[in-house]
Amino acid sequence: MTPDQQRETAVEAALGKLDLAAKVALLAGADMWSLPANQEIGLGRLVMSDGPAGVRGEHWTADDPSVSVPSPTALAAAWSRELAHRTGQLLAQEARRKGAHVVLAPTVNLHRSPRGGRHFEAYSEDPLLSGEIGAAFVSGVQSGGVATTPKHWVANDSETERYTVDVRVDERTLRELYLAPFEAIVRKATPWGLMASYNQVNGVSMSANQELNNGVLREEWGFDGILVSDWTGARDTVRDALAGLDIAMPGPVTVYGEHLVKAVREGLVPEETVDELARRVLRLAARVGLLADAPAAVPAEELPAAIDGEALAREVAAAGMTLVSNDGVLPLSDSLGSVALIGAAAVEARIGGGGSAQVFPTRVIAPLEGLRTALPQETAIGFAVGADPNVDLRPLAARTEARFLGRDGSELGRVALPDGTARWIGQLPAGISFADLAEVELTGVLAARSEGLHRVGIRGVGRFVLEADGAVLFDDVVVPVGTDPAAAFLNPPEQVFELELDGARTVALKLRHVLPENSGFAGFGLVSFVLGHGEPTGTADELLDEAVAVAAAADVAVVVVGTTEEVESEGVDRASLALPGRQDELVARVAAVNPRTVVVVNAGAPVLMPWRDDVAAVLLAWFPGQEAGAALADVLTGAVEPGGRLPTTWPATEADVPVWEVETTDGRLEYREGLFVGYRAWQRRDGAAPAYWFGHGLGYTDWSYEGLELRLLTPETGGADPYAPVAEAVVRVRNTGARAGREVVQVYLCPDRADAATPGSALAGFAAVTAAPGELAEARIGLPLRAFQRWGAEGWTGREGDHQVRAGRSAADLPLSVALEVPLPR
């Protein structure tokens, strides 16, 4: 018997021993992150964990640290299947270290609008790039014996009203854009799971979507993994079960459990349907090695060799950094006398976006530290904040203690915490249960470094009493804003109080939090609040003046600008693409006094850069993960070439953005633009060019494109596999610069006559090559059958008409081209 057969046999044997209630018990969370064990059938407890930029594990706090890798936009910007694969392997290693069996990733929704709040967490505006990077990531994680759940299936491309929004999208667009990355991943990498999104598609909620879940995903694509709800996304016992939603998370209160048992007894759900769902859950358990008598999909001796997480996080961060303009100032010369490093993010790097992708690393290397380590000691580094875009106060930077109090005021336990963040989701520290908990009291000491106006803040919802040295500053109830239950902990409102302190001294802070009756999330407990603190700062004008003075006195100015956790986060879409606070003014003023100004953009999604033509270089660092500053120094000094190419087009102004609207009308969000998303849309916008096109990015050498040949291949499978290459583009590029480098060669298929329904080009394949100065390199790029197909009334058919196959360095820079008649001859 093959291992697959052994697993299936063990699954059937286990299933045969279970009665209805026991089968149903497998289909819903026992708690926030796990499915229950069942000793009778030798089934272990199965643990799931977020997410794409690191594996958080079962605790949402800094005392359970994880390696933090660059956010998905950064990974996609590297255009490297190999790096995505290794990143996946690292996350599998992290998952195993943390006792997790399923990583709730990758996010392969598309960058439909740059306003999407989770843009940083998804890969690209292009379905082919998303699918390629996603498939490599999934195969990497699963080669480490850990399951994945590509998410959020499907059309969850923005956050506004995400629980209920009804996305209206035509069939062709759905197939060619939004389903495409999922299909590529399912067919190429066989994910063991998938996560259903909260939203509806064409009037049907995705957790209850028979047609897409059972029809397209399972019957058509042959998906044999589990479909898990997004958290609290299972809302209808009968419809969800019938639509093949295998797992309702989190638990213990779900629409499955006793409700599903009852529905079966009443004949509303056939017991065979429950068998199907349970079979798939058992198959998942078998694959990850949690079911007796079933060999794990990856035997222990075949697990990948141990990966150095810090080194890989640094490598990926540098590989994804995207240099969009450079007048030659980069790489920095090693004979610089002085560098001015400016910006709040230069000392407090934004390593990731807000929400469920958040992880807590053991260390973060900020740009200041990274540059200090990398630059020669003789190089003086001046620092100034310039403009602080943070709206909310940072958590009190001192150890605190949390006391847990019961309904009668008795102490249930206490724990020490690394800072002013108090957060427990689904689980409290050992020995304490949510059922008993009424209050949490956080105490800490504010050790003031300077005299003046300090700020102390509370972020959270529920009742709070804040005391400073015994004096009550606040005693009231804070109510949540909006209706998104996740927003109550992802983006809670803040209350700020001022404390005038004369000289360096300490203040004893005590924050008592009375839990709200209902956490907002049905069925599982949640404690989430922050005791914040802000040191006295100069006025905004003083900060700007100080930065200008520091910049004027230095040989080179490096300004790190970026977004904040409030701006880029799960649960909310962006209202504006402008950098928050006075950062644009900061860059403009620094550039006015220092012609050698390099701007580093620390953001996960496009921002406006009105000053981009007035500075010497612009480097997009994305959300680079914990090794941010080390990787940035590698790139700035030229130790490593900036490897990134844009996975998404960056607009110059908000008015030009092709898809701006993420708000609903009568609960609906119409994807009216059809296929015209990203570069496909920009290409037909007469007069409005983006700031930087999809695919664009500079290294530290130059390339010339010297030849393109197209070879038609005869697929051995007779065309059954849409991802089998049917043609190979052979592209010759020469390194014409002075140093070795890597070039990402991109191939697009362009119909000679684009019509109202068909975009002017679509990425069909890509590959990276490396070459020494003067050397010629040959990129061989397989072009899959699917690139030559379109979706219509008869399903997938060959595109008609004459086409050009073009090769080059971005969607707008395609110097080579050959004519092609499609459908291809077979």
Per CB under 6 A, residues contacting ligand BGC are: 50-51, 104, 151, 230-231, 356, 486
Beta bridge pairs of residue 521 = none
Q: 227 near 194, Cβ under 8 Å? A: yes
Comparison of 50 and 627: residue with beta carbon closer to ligand BGC: 50
Minimum distance from residue 436 beta carbon to ligand BGC (Å)? 25
Tokens read off for 596: 């050698």
φ/ψ of 267, rounded to 5, equals 80, 10
**Rounded to an integer, what distance in angstroms lies between the CA atom of residue 32 and that of residue 424?**
11
Comparison of 486 and 659: residue with beta carbon closer to ligand BGC: 486
Minimum distance from residue 152 beta carbon to ligand BGC (Å)? 6
Comparison of 491 and 594: residue with beta carbon closer to ligand BGC: 491
Comparison of 231 and 650: residue with beta carbon closer to ligand BGC: 231
Please give the C-alpha separations between residue 168 and each of 119, 173, 666, 679, in angstroms, as whole numbers: 20, 10, 12, 21
Minimum distance from residue 104 beta carbon to ligand BGC (Å)? 4
Q: For helices 628-637 and 367-374, what crossing angle results, to 10°?
A: 50
Q: Is the peptide bond before 823 cis (omega within 30 degrees of 0)?
A: yes
With residues binned 3-state (H G I as helix, E B as strand, rest as coil), the percentages for the chain, rounded to 5, are 25, 30, 45
Cα dihedral 690, 691, 694, 697, rounded to 10, equals 160
Number of C-beta neighbours around residue 268 at 10 A: 14
φ/ψ of 324, rounded to 5, equals -95, -20
φ/ψ of 478, rounded to 5, equals -105, 125
Q: 298 near 602, Cβ under 8 Å? A: no
Task: Give me the active site residues, please.
Answer: 230
* Residue 93, C-beta contacts closer than 8 angstroms, at least 6 positions apart: 144, 304, 306, 307, 309
* Residue 41, C-beta contacts closer than 8 angstroms, at least 6 positions apart: 14, 17, 18, 291, 292
Minimum distance from residue 633 beta carbon to ligand BGC (Å)? 32
Give the residue carrying structure tokens 């000793």: 39
Tokens read off for 257: 């459990």
Minimum distance from residue 196 beta carbon to ligand BGC (Å)? 11
Cα atoms in the 13 Å half-sphere on the side-chain side of 372: 10
Comparison of 200 and 379: residue with beta carbon closer to ligand BGC: 200
**Rounded to an integer, what distance in angstroms lies between the CA atom of residue 46 and that of residue 53?**
21
- Nearest to residue 74, comparing CAs of 642, 613, 641, 617? 642
Minimum distance from residue 676 beta carbon to ligand BGC (Å)? 27
For 464, the 3-state DSSP assignment is strand
Minimum distance from residue 222 beta carbon to ligand BGC (Å)? 25
Which residue intervals of 485-539 are DSSP H helices? Answer: 487-490
Comparison of 207 and 758: residue with beta carbon closer to ligand BGC: 207
Tokens read off for 687: 């007069």
Number of C-beta neighbours around residue 333 at 10 A: 12
Cα end-to-end span (Å), the chain:
38
Minimum distance from residue 41 beta carbon to ligand BGC (Å)? 27
- Nearest to residue 112, comparing CAs of 147, 156, 143, 176? 156
DSSP, res 175? I
What is the residue-wise DSSP string for 211-228? IIIIIIIIIIT---SEEE
Number of C-beta neighbours around residue 258 at 10 A: 11
Comparison of 490 and 633: residue with beta carbon closer to ligand BGC: 490
Minimum distance from residue 100 beta carbon to ligand BGC (Å)? 12
Report CA Rg, the chain. Answer: 27
Tell me how many degrees the CA angle 259-263-265 measures, rounded to the nearest 5.
Answer: 115
Minimum distance from residue 352 beta carbon to ligand BGC (Å)? 14
Comparison of 53 and 104: residue with beta carbon closer to ligand BGC: 104
**Rounded to an integer, what distance in angstroms lies between the CA atom of residue 256 and that of residue 235?**
9
**Rounded to an integer, what distance in angstroms lies between the CA atom of residue 415 and that of residue 64?**
13
Comparison of 196 and 511: residue with beta carbon closer to ligand BGC: 196
Comparison of 66 and 701: residue with beta carbon closer to ligand BGC: 66
Q: 769 near 777, Cβ under 8 Å? A: yes
Which residue intervals of 358-494 are DSSP H helices? Answer: 367-374, 487-490
Minimum distance from residue 249 beta carbon to ligand BGC (Å)? 8
**Rounded to an integer, what distance in angstroms lies between the CA atom of residue 185 and that of residue 108?**
10
Beta strands in 660-794 (DSSP E): 668-670, 703-712, 725-735, 741-751, 762-771, 776-784, 789-792
Minimum distance from residue 163 beta carbon to ligand BGC (Å)? 9
For 496, the 3-state DSSP assignment is strand
Comparison of 105 and 763: residue with beta carbon closer to ligand BGC: 105
Comparison of 231 and 622: residue with beta carbon closer to ligand BGC: 231
Comparison of 132 and 230: residue with beta carbon closer to ligand BGC: 230
Minimum distance from residue 158 beta carbon to ligand BGC (Å)? 12
**Rounded to an integer, what distance in angstroms lies between the CA atom of residue 114 and that of residue 649?**
9
